[in-house]
Amino acid sequence: MTQLTLADEIVVLMLDDTMGEVNQACIAVAGVAIAGGILMELALRENIDTDLKTLFVVNPRQTGDYLLDAILQEIAAEPEQHSSAWWIDQLAVRHDDLLGQILARLVTAGILREEERRFLWVFSRRAYPQVSGREEREAKARLMSVLFNDEVPNPRDTLLLGLARSTDVLSTILSSEQLDKAYDRIEEVAALEEIGRSVGLVSSQIREAMATMLATYH
Partner 1 sequence: MEITSRIDGDLVHLRVVGSLDASTSPNVEEAVNAAIGGGRRSVIFDLQELNYISSAGLRALLLAAKKAKAAGGGVAVFGLQPAVTEVFTIAGFGKIVSIASNDADARDKLSGQRG
Binding site for partner 1 (CB under 8 A): 43, 46, 48-52, 58-59, 151-155, 158, 188, 191-195, 197
CB-nearer residue toward partner 1: 107 or 144: 144
- How many beta carbons lie within 10 A of that of residue 33, not counting itself? 31
Least distance (Å) from partner 1 to the CB of residue 148? 16
Which CB atom, from 167 or from 198, has the smaller least distance to partner 1?
198
Select 50 or 203, whichever has its Cβ closest to partner 1: 50
Nearer of residues 85 and 112 to partner 1, judged by Cβ: 85
Indicate the burial class of 88 (C-beta count within 10 angstroms; 0-12, 13-18, 19 or more). Answer: buried
Minimum Å distance from CB 33 to partner 1?
Answer: 18
Distance CA 218, CA 206 (A): 18
Q: Which is nearer to partner 1, 61 or 126 (CB)?
A: 61
What is the 3-class SS of 26-46, one letter each residue? CHHHHHHHHHHHHHHHHHHCC
Alpha helices in the chain (DSSP H): 6-14, 30-44, 66-77, 84-92, 95-108, 134-148, 155-167, 170-173, 176-190, 194-217
Least distance between partner 1 and beta carbon 52 (Å): 6
Q: How far is the CB of 194 from partner 1 (least distance, A)?
A: 5
* CB contact at 8 A, 39 and 73: no
Query: Which SS3 state, helix, strand or coil, does residue 63 take?
Result: coil
Q: What DSSP state is assigned to residue 83? A: -
The CA angle 103-105-107, to the nearest 5 degrees, is 70
> Least distance to partner 1 from the beta carbon of 188, Å?
5
Q: With respect to partner 1, which residue has the nearer C-beta, 55 or 102?
A: 55
Q: Smallest distance from the beta carbon of 197 to partner 1, in angstroms?
A: 8
